[in-house]
């Protein structure tokens, strides 16, 4: 299978802190990969680097569907087919759910009616139809995350990057989310998730990459990665069980 | 009708509000507008409009103008009003133009269109006067003003009258005076970058060579600075022995103080503007003593001016300043024009002003002693008067024909 | 948005009829003057609102574009005899062109940084026009030649004509805003105003949209500059680049309802009518009363009713027609 | 030439001390409560009037009247925080920018009604005095003002570095959430921070009164410069504001000397815009170090 995303030597230094260090991985088309690691490991920073929010240090390379992304702006990257969500959902508060998702839909066509149609589809996909005309800031946190997924979907991406969309969900909600990701994968999308909910990861991911202190410490099938002693040490050392609390600062 | 009743209650409640505050000067405004409403019905009154900035950056001087304008109307009325019109009384309709151009435009229009006016006067600041003049010209309403900008006499104007010396005339007097205090005047001209500053100083630069005066520094500055230090530093470096600051009050106070602190020995001629305001002397105290200036009107030039000054001083506690005194004269010029025209119709008042020729009485109370408007509405006899601060008073010292005291050598 | 119970078409048509017929009903030209001010400052407010209200880029330097537009047409008219009608368009184009470098500088900054940098930009332009007398009359300024009744040169004997010009400009700005509000661009503007990063994440080219809306806003503001100078017959740097213009543009939008089509119109109507009435009631000796009242209105809106007058009106409507939920903020629906 | 240059630098530093004092207030408020106080200049104006009336009614020296203006404005600052700023925290740019903007407008115009537009000056024994040495002169009132301004800045620095409350302020400025977790009472910290900032404006006013005329719009003369200094010094950075304030004074003075007296502000603004293009976050990163 062809690679959807190939990341080589991704590095980022903030002042004296090496947030991400020669991080390399690749994701095959239509694969669902999970990026895991303790708090502060550099997962969200990696998302920011891949999607153009931070500029990677020289020598880094991010190739998606055969095209180098380093140096592109986030909106270019989105237009190229990489959509993401934020760790703490960032809906457009004073817009309704529908308007939020339409904003995403306009990327693939500027006609109002068509965008509205595509937005309604995406809203239905995440199960928010009943709230279509609710202002986004009045939604529950969980619905805000759903909204963000719908908004990302409306941009008709080839590669989706979800940053902890399941944090704080109850078991039945997690099942819904897992099913949703399965459905997306079924449509042929490539998916990368940052997640702490192990049950979900085991259910959706075909492969896991583990980051610790900005470095990749393990990569492979879920089962084998979870039994890797380095991974266990990294997690136990940083109190894996205490999750989820307030995570890394957004951006 | 309803409108008038409302105006009354607003004025009253405002007076109550102000009674407790220190703004006694401000309170006098509403009394007038109150009076207007009351008097507007009386058939024998003649409305004249006054446009002055009572708020905004020019508020202080604007308020003084209003005080003078009121005094002038009172004087005309006390003397029997317009006799040719059966002793009709003048009624002053004031408007606050807020030191703002839009407001000036609309207020000039409002006064002209809302009241039956015979003439208007205003606005102290040249830029505002220019706007009022444009409106007045189009509405065919005579405007008489003490503003000195030469632009007011240009552009085919027929309804704008300027009875006093023009900015361009000030320069010559200022340069001539500099030779009284120094054999070889080396002049530093520092002027605020406003219409007043640039037009006045341009005249100085043009005329200096002919009068044998060296300009060693010609420096525009941003009005309203935080510190005069840098400017004074430039003056010092220029080697000047004479300083012409063309400034309003605030900057001037700082310049004068800083010159003193820097230990510079300069003959200073502050021209007009802030320099000839009573507040200037109050603000800098003894530093004012001996400083020179140029005005289009001074309160000691003749017996009539002295009378006006005494009256004003009684009411407001300080001598009547240049623009205010000129305003009194202007009001009498308007009254005289109405006497001559036997009418308060603006067109007839304008025609009477155009052929006015007076050389006595309050209407002729201006340096030059005679008022006759030439082309462009400019008084062909208007001339500036050189003044000096002596013992807290502003005394006429130049030219000799108008001098009331000897020039004090610093 | 506002006016959904009555069909919006009917509402707008009725309003248009009233606006066009109004000068005929005015007892004195003074009221027409007030209406000119309302139309003009509404127009500037609507132009500001595109950038400041929808995209939340709180400019306090729109006087820069106002002044550039004003100077362009005045220079063309006084020095080259070009009709201000043409000059007005040229002024708009110059203002829009100037918005590009100004935007390139100021958009690097956000929030209060942005606001302060726009103030600085307008100030620099004013100081440059003051300093370089060769450019355009320096501090002394100039008056517009008196041509009597010359409609082709934008000079009218009838005051109502000025009103109709201002009204037409306002109509143009409202139509432009309405079209933008109902298109993808409206969504993009509101989205980037809410959260620039999130907007980028869904493919909004934030810098480009900002540039575009800034240019449109600047163009319209430039037109206003020309009209204003023709109306007051005089130009100088302090007038053309007056900080008050920048403030008024923002103020009327906020008081009326920021980020709404009709907000700036309502805000201007309230502030200008209040100011004009105060002026005529108190005459001279106003001594700061008017601006004190402006400031109190502004504070009240910010603290009590961030939706402005539009919010009050929609509430009143909802109370009349049932519903009755208090609108806390303007919400943009699909 | 050298004397002229030296004098220009001295002049710039002296007035820069006042800019710095105003700027520090602005930056302190921004750092702690994240609101730009557009009314800072009007509190300077208030400080001037306090000193003016104390001088004319009670004959108190304007510098001495600091002991009144500073506490009075400190209390006003706490009230400002409690009744106004607190209500717009976290509400986004619009209310935060325009609330204090409206306050500025209100204060100017109420002052106009209460005090009239007159320029008010005080004559003290040292008003027109200057120290002369080696061709340079230093005006005494400005020197006193500069010295007191620097002293107050140093006091503030010590306060922020050594006291619990000061440390709490710096913590709140750096990371609000973390500060809350540390058990800091934000209402108290915020009120004190705004109080101090406004008190500094009042101090600047009293110091100015010794050599600058008071009038209702006087705050505008100083506040725009202060904003520029605050942004250049990095919003929220107290040391940055101090240095940038002094720099602004010198830049303005040199601009007047070598470019033109109508160009001081042009030089300053252009410097400001260019710096922001190169370093959008000002010259100094982060909070006071």
Give residue B44's pLDDT: 76
The architecture CATH gives domain A1-78+190-244: 3-Layer(aba) Sandwich (3.40)
Token pair 């003016």 is found at D52
Q: Is it the case that residue B279 has pLDDT exceeding 90?
A: no
With contact defined as 3+ CB pairs under 8 Å, the chains touching A are C
When scoring B34, B49, B56, B110 by the number of chain C Cβ atoms within 10 A, the one with the most, hence best to mutate, is: B110
Task: Measure the CA–CA gap between B231 and B219, rounded to whole angstroms.
Answer: 9
Q: What is the tens place of the pLDDT at every residue in C257-289? A: 888 899 999 999 998 888 877 776 765 555 678
User: What are the chain D neighbours of C247 within 8 Å (beta carbons)?
Assistant: 101
Q: Subunits with at least 3 CB pairs below 8 A relative to chain C?
A: A, B, D
Partner-chain residue, chosen from B6, B55, B93, that has the shortest CB–CB distance to C286: B55
C280 touches chain B (CB under 8 A): yes
| Chain B residues touching residue C30 (CB < 8 angstroms) | 106, 109-110, 113-114
- pLDDT tens for residues C36-84? 989 999 999 999 999 999 999 999 999 999 999 999 999 999 999 999 9
Q: Which of A225-239, C24-38, C310-324, D7-21 tops mean pLDDT? A: D7-21
- Average pLDDT estimate for D9-26: 93
- Name every chain D residue with its beta carbon within 8 A of the beta carbon of C298: 98, 101-102, 105
Chain A to chain C Cβ contacts (< 8 Å): 105
DSSP string covering B100-151: -HHHHHHHHHHHHHHS-EEEEEE-SSHHHHHHHHHHHHHHT--EE-----GG
pLDDT tens figures, B215-238: 999 999 988 888 898 999 999 999
With 0-12 / 13-18 / 19 or more C-beta atoms within 10 angstroms meaning exposed / middle / buried, residue B253 is: buried
Residue of B nearest to D215 (CA): B250
Please judge whether B52 and C284 are an interchain contact, meaning their C-beta atoms are less than 8 angstroms apart.
yes
Do chains A and B have 3 or more beta-carbon pairs under 8 angstroms? no
- Using a CB–CB cutoff of 8 Å, tell me whether C298 touches chain D: yes
Residues C123/D269, Cβ–Cβ less than 8 Å? yes
CA distances (Å), D262 to each of B224, B225, C130, D4, D224, in order? 11, 10, 8, 18, 16
What tens digit of pLDDT does each residue of C200-224 get?
999 999 999 999 999 999 999 999 9
Token couple for B88: 């009709």
* Phi, psi (deg, nearest 5) at residue D100: -70, -25
Interface ipTM:
0.83
| pLDDT for res D288 | 32
Instruction: Classify the C-alpha dihedral B29-B33-B39-B40 as positive or negative.
Output: positive
- CA distances C237 to A93, B125, C63, D182, Å, are 41, 15, 10, 53
Residue partners of C87: CB distance under 8 A and separation at least 6:
C72, C73, C74, C76, C77, C226
Q: Distance between CA A160 and CA A153 in Å, rounded? A: 8
Q: What is the pLDDT of residue C308?
A: 83
The pLDDT score that the predictor gives to residue C112 is 79
Cα–Cα distance for residue pair B144/B217, rounded to 1 Å: 35
Q: Is the pLDDT of residue B337 over 60?
A: yes
Q: Report C:28-67 residues touching B (Cβ under 8 A).
A: 28-30, 33-34, 36-37
- Count CB neighbours of B278 within 10 A: 18
Q: What is the pLDDT of residue C322?
A: 58
The pLDDT, as a whole number, for residue A250 is 34
The answer to whether B42-165+302-377 and B167-295+385-402 have equal CATH topology is: yes
Q: Are strands D130-133 and D136-139 parallel, antiparallel or unpaired?
A: antiparallel
Q: Are D118 and D127 in contact (CB under 8 A)?
A: no
The correct CATH number of D2-278 out of 1.10.3120, 2.40.160, 1.10.3470, 3.40.50 is: 1.10.3470
Distance CA B187, CA B180 (A): 13
**Among all chains, which residue has been given the structure tokens 């040229």?**
C90
Surface of C (172-231) touching B: CB under 8 A: 228, 231
Between the alpha carbon of residue B320 and those of residues B108, B274, B313, the distances in Å are: 26, 14, 7
**CA nearest to C204 within chain A:** A75
How far, in Å, CA of C170 to CA of B35, rounded?
39
Pick the CATH number of B42-165+302-377 from 2.60.40.10, 3.40.50.300, 3.20.20.70, 3.40.50.2300: 3.40.50.2300
The residue of chain D with its CA nearest to that of B63 is D117
Q: What is the CA radius of gyration of chain D?
A: 19
- For residue A110, pLDDT over 80 is answered with yes
> For chain B, what is the mean pLDDT?
84
Mean pLDDT of A46-52: 91
Contact C285 B106 (CB under 8 A): no
Query: How many Å apart are CA D260 and CA C132, to the nearest integer?
Result: 12
Whether the pLDDT of residue C192 is over 80: the answer is yes
CA distance A223 to A205: 11
SS3 state at A155: coil
Sheet containing strand A61-64, edge to edge, reads: A17-28, A3-14, A61-64, A67-68
> Would you place residue D155 in the very low, low, confident or very high pLDDT band (cuts 50, 70, 90)?
very high
Q: Which of C133, C228, C279 sits opposite B96 (nearest CB)?
A: C279
pLDDT for B402 equals 87
How large a percentage of chain D has pLDDT more than 90?
A: 47
Tokens of A237: 């050392």
Q: What is the pLDDT of residue C6?
A: 60
Q: Is A218 helix (H, G, I), strand (E, B) or coil?
A: strand
Burial of B177 (C-beta count, 10 Å sphere; 0-12/13-18/19+)? buried
Q: How confident is the model at residue D74 (pLDDT cuts 50, 70, 90)?
A: very high
According to the model, what pLDDT value does residue D171 have? 80
CB contact under 8 Å between B33 and C285, yes or no, is yes
Nearest to C294 by CA among C273, C265, C314: C273
Q: What is the pLDDT of residues A61-94, one digit of tens each?
A: 999 898 899 989 999 999 999 999 998 889 998 8
For residue range A204-246, what is the model confidence (pLDDT) as tens digits?
889 999 888 888 888 888 888 888 888 877 776 544 443 443 3
Q: B13 pLDDT band (50/70/90 cuts)?
A: very low
Q: Write the pLDDT tens digit of every residue in D251-289.
A: 889 988 888 888 877 887 888 877 777 777 777 754 333
Strand bridging mode B117-122 / B143-144: parallel
Query: Is residue D170 predicted with pLDDT exceeding 90?
Result: no
Architecture of domain B167-295+385-402: 3-Layer(aba) Sandwich (3.40)
Residues of D in contact with B284 (CB under 8 A): 121
β pairing state of B186-192 and B143-144: unpaired
Partner residue facing A99 (CB), from C195, C200, C334:
C334
Q: Grade residue C120 by pLDDT with cuts at 50, 70 and 90.
A: confident
Token pair belonging to A176: 């819904």
Mean pLDDT, all residues of chain A? 86
Kindly tell me the burial class for residue A2, based on how many C-beta atoms sit within 10 Å of its own C-beta (0-12, 13-18, 19 or more): exposed
8-state DSSP, B392: T
How confident is residue A166, by pLDDT bands cut at 50, 70 and 90? confident
> Closest chain B residue to D128 measured between Cα atoms?
B261
**Residues of chain C contacting residue D227, judged by C-beta atoms under 8 Å apart:** 116, 119
What confidence category does residue D195 fall into, taking pLDDT thresholds of 50, 70 and 90?
very high
pLDDT beyond 80 at B22: no
Q: Provide the residue count of chain C.
A: 334
Helix (H, G, I), strand (E, B) or coil at B260: helix
The Cα of C232 is separated from the nearest Cα of chain B by a number of Å equal to 6
**CB-CB under 8 Å, C188 with A98:** no
Q: 3-state DSSP helix/strand/coil percent for chain B, to nearest 5?
A: 50, 20, 30
Cite the DSSP H helix spans in chain C.
Answer: 8-25, 29-49, 63-80, 84-106, 111-131, 133-136, 159-181, 184-194, 196-201, 206-232, 237-240, 243-256, 263-282, 289-304, 308-320
C275 or D143, which is more confident: D143
Residue A203 at interface with chain C, using a CB cutoff of 8 Å: no
pLDDT for position B203? 87
Judge whether D36 and C112 are in contact, CB under 8 Å: yes
Q: Is the preceding peptide bond at B183 cis, omega within 30 degrees of 0?
A: no
Q: Considering the entire predicted model, what is its pTM?
A: 0.86
Nearest by Cα to B374 from B172, B149, B158, B143: B158
Residues of C in contact with A106 (CB under 8 A): 184, 187-188, 203
DSSP letter assigned to residue B153: G
Domain ranges of chain B: 42-165+302-377, 167-295+385-402
pLDDT value, residue A228:
82
Q: What is the dihedral of CA A184, A186, A192, A197, to 10 degrees?
A: 80
| Count of other CB atoms within 10 angstroms of residue C66 | 31
CB–CB of D253 and B59 under 8 A?
A: no
Residue C102 to residues C113, C222, C326, D40, Cα–Cα distance (Å): 14, 14, 39, 27
Q: Give which of B230, B244, B248, B258 to mutate to test D binding, by max D Cβ within 10 Å.
A: B230
Smallest CA–CA separation between B251 and chain C, in Å? 17
Reference D266, options B274, B220, C246; nearest CA is: B220
pLDDT the model gives residue B3: 29
What pLDDT is stored for residue C22 in this prediction?
A: 83
Mean pLDDT of chain D: 87
> Which pLDDT score, from 0 to 100, does residue D113 have?
85
Asked if residue A83 lies in contact with residue A51, where contact means CB atoms within 8 angstroms, the answer is no
> What was the pLDDT predicted at C95?
97
User: What whole-number percentage of chain C has pLDDT above 90?
Assistant: 48
Q: Which residues contact D200 (CB under 8 A, 6 or more apart)?
A: D21, D22, D24, D25, D28, D152, D156
Distance in angstroms (rounded) separating the CA atoms of residues A32 and A154: 19
d(CA B163, CA C281): 32
Question: pLDDT for A24-42, tens place per residue?
Answer: 999 999 999 999 888 888 8
Domain ranges for chain A = 1-78+190-244
If we measure between CA atoms, which residue out of B188, B151, B206, D259 comes closest to residue C137? B151
Each residue's pLDDT tens digit, B45-98: 999 999 998 877 777 788 889 999 999 999 999 999 999 999 999 999 998 888
| Spatial distance between the Cα atoms of C167 and C41, rounded to a whole number of angstroms | 11
Nearest to C205 by CA among C181, C189, C183: C189
Calculate what percentage of chain B has a pLDDT beyond 70: 89
∠ CA B22-B27-B33, rounded to 5°? 170
Q: Give the confidence band of C13 by pLDDT, cuts at 50, 70, 90.
A: confident
């Amino acid at each position: 299978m062809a690679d959807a995303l190939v990341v080589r030597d991704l590095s980022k230094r903030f002042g004296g802190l090496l947030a991400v260090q020669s991080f390399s991985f690749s994701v095959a088309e239509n694969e669902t990969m999970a990026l895991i690691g303790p708090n502060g490991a550099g997962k969200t920073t990696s998302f920011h680097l891949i999607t153009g929010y931070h500029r990677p240090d020289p020598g880094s390379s991010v190739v998606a569907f055969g095209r180098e992304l380093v140096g592109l702006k986030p909106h270019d990257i989105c237009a190229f087919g990489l959509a993401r969500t934020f760790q703490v959902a960032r809906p457009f508060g004073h817009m309704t759910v529908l308007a939020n998702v339409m904003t995403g839909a306009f990327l693939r066509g500027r006609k109002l009616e068509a965008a509205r149609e595509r937005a309604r589809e995406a809203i239905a996909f995440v199960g928010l139809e009943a709230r279509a005309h609710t202002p986004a800031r009045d939604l529950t946190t969980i619905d805000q995350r759903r909204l963000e997924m719908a908004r990302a979907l409306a941009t008709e991406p080839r590669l989706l990057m979800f940053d902890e969309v399941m944090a704080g969900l109850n078991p039945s909600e997690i099942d819904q989310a897992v099913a949703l990701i399965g459905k997306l994968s079924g449509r042929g999308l490539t998916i990368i998730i940052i997640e702490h909910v192990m049950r979900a990861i085991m259910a959706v991911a075909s492969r896991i990459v583990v980051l610790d202190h900005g470095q990749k410490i393990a990569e492979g099938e879920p089962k084998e990665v979870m039994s890797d002693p380095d991974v266990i040490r990294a997690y136990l050392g940083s109190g894996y069980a205490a999750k989820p609390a307030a995570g890394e600062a957004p951006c | 009708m309803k409108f008038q009743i409302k105006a009354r209650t607003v004025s009253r409640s405002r007076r109550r509000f102000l009674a407790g505050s220190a703004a006694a000067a401000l309170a006098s405004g509403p009394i007038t507008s109150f009076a207007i409403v009351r008097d507007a019905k009386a058939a024998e009154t003649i409305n004249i409009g006054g446009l002055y900035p009572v708020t905004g950056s020019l508020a202080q001087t604007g308020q003084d103008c209003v005080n003078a304008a009121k005094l002038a109307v009172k004087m005309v009325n006390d003397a029997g009003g317009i006799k040719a019109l059966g002793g009709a009384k003048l009624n002053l309709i004031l408007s606050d133009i807020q030191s703002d151009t839009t407001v000036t435009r609309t207020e000039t229009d409002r006064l002209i269109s809302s009241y039956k006016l015979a003439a208007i006067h205003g606005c102290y600041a040249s830029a505002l006067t220019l706007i009022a003049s444009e409106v007045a010209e189009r509405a065919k309403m005579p405007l008489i003003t003490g503003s000195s900008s030469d632009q007011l006499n240009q552009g085919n104007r027929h309804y704008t009258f300027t009875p006093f010396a023009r900015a361009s005339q000030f320069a010559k007097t200022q340069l001539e005076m500099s030779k009284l205090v120094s054999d070889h005047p080396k002049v530093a001209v520092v002027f605020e970058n406003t219409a007043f500053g640039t037009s006045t100083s341009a005249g100085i630069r043009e005329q200096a060579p002919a009068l044998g005066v060296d300009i060693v520094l010609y420096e525009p500055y941003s009005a309203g600075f935080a510190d005069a230090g840098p400017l004074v530093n430039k003056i010092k470096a220029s080697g000047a022995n004479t300083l012409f600051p063309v400034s309003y009050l605030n900057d001037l106070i700082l310049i004068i103080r800083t010159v003193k602190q820097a230990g510079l020995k300069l003959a200073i001629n502050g021209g007009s503007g802030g320099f000839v305001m009573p507040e200037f002397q109050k603000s800098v105290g003894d530093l004012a003593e001996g400083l020179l200036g140029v005005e289009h009107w001074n309160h000691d030039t003749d017996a009539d001016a002295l009378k006006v000054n005494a009256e004003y001083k009684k009411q407001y506690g300080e001598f009547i300043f240049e623009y205010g005194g000129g305003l009194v004269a202007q009001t009498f010029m308007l009254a005289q024009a109405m006497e001559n025209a036997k009418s308060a119709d603006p067109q007839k008042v304008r025609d009477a002003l155009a052929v006015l020729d007076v050389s006595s009485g309050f209407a002729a109370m201006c340096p030059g002693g005679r008022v006759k408007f030439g082309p462009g509405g400019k008084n062909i006899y208007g001339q500036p008067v050189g003044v000096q601060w002596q013992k807290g008073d502003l005394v006429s010292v130049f030219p000799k024909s108008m001098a009331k005291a000897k020039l004090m050598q610093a | 948005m506002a006016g959904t119970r009555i069909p919006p078409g009917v509402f707008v048509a009725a309003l248009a009829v009233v606006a066009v017929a109004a000068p005929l009903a005015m007892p004195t030209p003074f009221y027409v003057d007030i209406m000119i001010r309302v139309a003009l400052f509404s127009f500037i407010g609507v132009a500001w609102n595109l950038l400041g209200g929808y995209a939340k880029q709180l400019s306090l330097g729109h006087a820069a574009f106002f002044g550039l537009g004003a100077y362009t047409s005045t220079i063309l008219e006084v020095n080259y005899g070009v009709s201000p009608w043409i000059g007005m368009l040229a002024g708009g184009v110059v203002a829009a062109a100037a918005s590009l470098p100004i935007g390139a500088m100021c958009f690097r900054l956000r929030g209060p940084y942005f606001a302060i940098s726009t103030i600085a930009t307008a100030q620099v332009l004013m100081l440059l026009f003051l300093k370089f007398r060769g450019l355009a009359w320096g501090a002394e300024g100039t008056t517009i030649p008196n041509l009597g009744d010359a409609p082709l040169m934008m000079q009218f004997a009838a005051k109502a004509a000025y009103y109709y010009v201002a009204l037409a400009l306002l109509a143009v700005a409202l139509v432009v805003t309405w079209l933008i509000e109902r298109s993808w661009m409206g969504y993009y503007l509101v989205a980037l105003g809410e959260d620039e990063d999130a907007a980028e994440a869904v493919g909004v080219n934030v810098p480009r949209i900002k540039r575009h809306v800034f240019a449109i806003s600047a163009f319209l503001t430039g037109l206003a500059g020309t009209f204003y100078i023709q109306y007051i017959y005089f130009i100088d740097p302090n007038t053309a680049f007056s900080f008050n213009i920048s403030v008024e543009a923002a103020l009327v939008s906020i008081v009326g309802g920021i980020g709404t089509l009709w907000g700036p119109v309502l805000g201007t109507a309230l502030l200008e009518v209040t100011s004009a009435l105060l002026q005529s009631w108190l005459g001279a000796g106003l001594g700061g009363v008017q601006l004190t009242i402006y400031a109190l209105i502004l504070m009240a809106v910010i603290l009590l009713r961030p939706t402005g007058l539009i919010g009050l009106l929609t509430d009143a409507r909802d109370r009349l027609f049932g519903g009755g939920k208090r609108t806390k903020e303007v919400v943009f629906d699909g | 030439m050298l004397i002229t240059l030296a004098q220009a630098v001295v002049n710039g530093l002296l007035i820069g001390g006042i800019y710095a004092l105003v700027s520090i207030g602005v930056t302190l408020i921004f750092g702690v409560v994240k609101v730009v106080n557009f009314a800072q200049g009007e509190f300077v104006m208030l400080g001037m009037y306090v000193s003016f009336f104390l001088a004319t009614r009670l004959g108190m020296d304007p510098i001495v009247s600091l002991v009144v203006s500073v506490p009075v404005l400190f209390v006003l600052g706490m009230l400002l925080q409690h009744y106004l700023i607190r209500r717009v925290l976290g509400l986004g740019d619009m209310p935060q920018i325009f609330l204090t903007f409206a306050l500025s407008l209100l204060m100017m115009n109420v002052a106009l009604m209460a005090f009239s537009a007159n320029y008010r000056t005080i004559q003290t024994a040292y008003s027109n005095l200057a120290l002369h040495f080696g061709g340079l002169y230093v005006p005494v009132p400005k020197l006193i003002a500069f010295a007191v301004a620097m002293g107050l800045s140093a006091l503030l620095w010590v306060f922020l570095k050594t006291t619990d409350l000061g440390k709490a302020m710096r913590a709140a400025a750096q990371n609000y959430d973390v500060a809350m977790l540390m058990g800091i009472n934000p209402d108290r910290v915020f009120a004190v921070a705004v109080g101090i900032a406004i008190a500094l404006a009042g101090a600047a006013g009293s110091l100015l009164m010794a050599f600058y005329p008071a009038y209702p719009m006087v705050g505008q003369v100083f506040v725009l410069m202060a904003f520029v200094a605050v942004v250049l010094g990095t919003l929220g950075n107290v040391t940055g504001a101090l240095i940038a304030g002094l720099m602004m004074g010198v830049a303005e003075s040199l601009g007047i000397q070598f470019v033109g007296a109508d160009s001081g502000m042009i030089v300053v603004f252009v410097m400001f815009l260019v710096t922001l293009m190169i370093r959008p976050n000002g010259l100094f990163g982060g909070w006071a170090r």
